[in-house]
Amino acid sequence: MARTGRRPGPTSTRSTILEAARRRFAAAGYSATSLRGIAADACVDAGVVLHFFGSKEGLFRAAVGWPFDPARAEQTLLSSSAEPLGTRLAQTFFEYWEDPTTGPALAALLRSAMTNVEAAALLREFVAHELFGRVAAQFAPDQTQLRVQLAAAQLVGIAVLRNLLQLEPISSAPIENLVAWVGPNLERYRRSTEPDG
Amino acid sequence: MARTGRRPGPTSTRSTILEAARRRFAAAGYSATSLRGIAADACVDAGVVLHFFGSKEGLFRAAVGWPFDPARAEQTLLSSSAEPLGTRLAQTFFEYWEDPTTGPALAALLRSAMTNVEAAALLREFVAHELFGRVAAQFAPDQTQLRVQLAAAQLVGIAVLRNLLQLEPISSAPIENLVAWVGPNLERYRRSTEPDG
């Protein structure tokens, strides 16, 4: 809603689309939300949405405020080195949190999801669709989603203690040290037989 | 600061003391903060502080908003059953988060610590002093603090995904199932040799 009578500029159009996208994605989830519906809410043509965001996935990422391309991260993660996946997952996670651009963006995202219901719904939808979906095939087939989420919980918990609450010594621990501790536990979630079995 | 000329009642005195306590504990930490100093800030006698909160520890707990007595939790935890400590830690943690009184209080605490610098300093001081200190003796002697914090990070991360972000399936998983998965990983942090050794 422009406050003057002038035609809204690109910045305002972009943010109107983002607002509409946040509302729709949070309310209906990723799959049930259409570019066309968002475009209609924002009173623009679907082509305008594509012009700004490239694709529905790109729009989703921008709406959530996610600071890197999950498809690229997946490529790096699955193509690299002979280390066990648990180790590579931990390494990649800590590197994104350490990075001066992506780190603060991830912290802001987590903060707002923990204090705002719509932001939580958006982030929930995003991680399920854009992150967990990409690694699930690498986890054992029984209770796969729970395994992925337990591994994610370990990593997110470290980000909370290390980057948000800044507890010592975990806050100053070198990444290699954290990876060495955490990697084997992530591997256990990924591959062990059922805990009671 | 009373807005009328009347003498402040007990509720107002109590909250004035709590405000002073939060400021002092957050700025100087638990050990360096004295009841006398807090009482002086609140313009009351130290005896009044003891009357309301029983002890410096009780005042600290009230200032943080911590919803149960850590000393009692420790007693239950260390006295009970033949299960490995990792299992009992997980069980106790999830029970406090499930409880309709303590659960929401813990969620509120974590939320405010993640979005407010003073609340973060207070919570940091509290967990280091009142929680981690109580279990540290049960962890292997090398890198003890880091071990404790990695275990805590696993549990906190689950609370974030399960109770705050409400991701499925972890949000509806029965406690027994979570404990069975998580217990062995906590035991690994507690007892394994150094990860690189």
Mutation site for B-interface testing, chosen from A83, A94, A114 by largest number of B Cβ within 10 Å = A114
Residue A156 contacts B where some CB pair is shorter than 8 Å: yes
Our measurement of the distance from residue A175's CA atom to the centroid of its chain's CA atoms, rounded to an integer in Å, reads 20
Residue B173 contacts A where some CB pair is shorter than 8 Å: yes
The answer to which of A192-196, B46-50, B56-60, B67-71 has the lowest mean pLDDT is A192-196
Give chain B's mean pLDDT: 91
| Integer Cα distance of A14 and A5 in angstroms | 18
At position A49, the amino acid (one-letter code) is V
| Integer Cα distance of A35 and A24 in angstroms | 10
Query: A154, B188: Cβ pair inside 8 Å?
Result: no
Cis-peptide, bond into residue B8, ω within 30° of zero: no
Q: DSSP readout, B136-181?
A: GGGS-STTHHHHHHHHHHHHHHHHIIIIIS--TTTTT--HHHHHHH
Task: Please write the tens of the pLDDT for every residue from B129-179.
Answer: 899 999 999 999 999 999 999 999 999 999 999 999 999 999 999 999 999
The whole-number average pLDDT for the span B75-82 is 81
Residue A106 contacts B where some CB pair is shorter than 8 Å: no
Among chain A residues, the shortest Cα distance to B190 is held by A181
At position B122, the amino acid (one-letter code) is L
Length of chain A: 197
Rg (CA), chain A: 19
Cβ proximity of B109 and B171 under 8 Å: no
Residue A100 distance to chain B (closest CA, Å): 19
Query: B181, A110: Cβ pair inside 8 Å?
Result: no
| Integer Cα distance of B188 and A8 in angstroms | 58
Of A114, A149, A196, the CB nearest to B180: A196
Of A146, A160, A177, the CB nearest to B156: A160
Contacts of B111 in chain A (CB under 8 A): 114-115
Q: Which phi and psi angles does A152 have, rounded to 5°? A: -60, -40
| Integer Cα distance of A64 and A113 in angstroms | 10
Residue B146 contacts A where some CB pair is shorter than 8 Å: yes
Q: CA triplet A146, A118, B127: central angle to 5 degrees?
A: 60
Confidence grade of residue A2 (pLDDT, cut at 50, 70, 90): very low
ipTM attached to this prediction: 0.89
Cis-peptide, bond into residue B195, ω within 30° of zero: no
Task: Please write the tens of the pLDDT for every residue from A5-15.
Answer: 566 677 799 99
> Which has more confidence, B193 or B91?
B91
What's the whole-model pTM score? 0.89
Q: DSSP readout, A62-85?
A: HHHT--S-HHHHHHHHHHS-SS-H
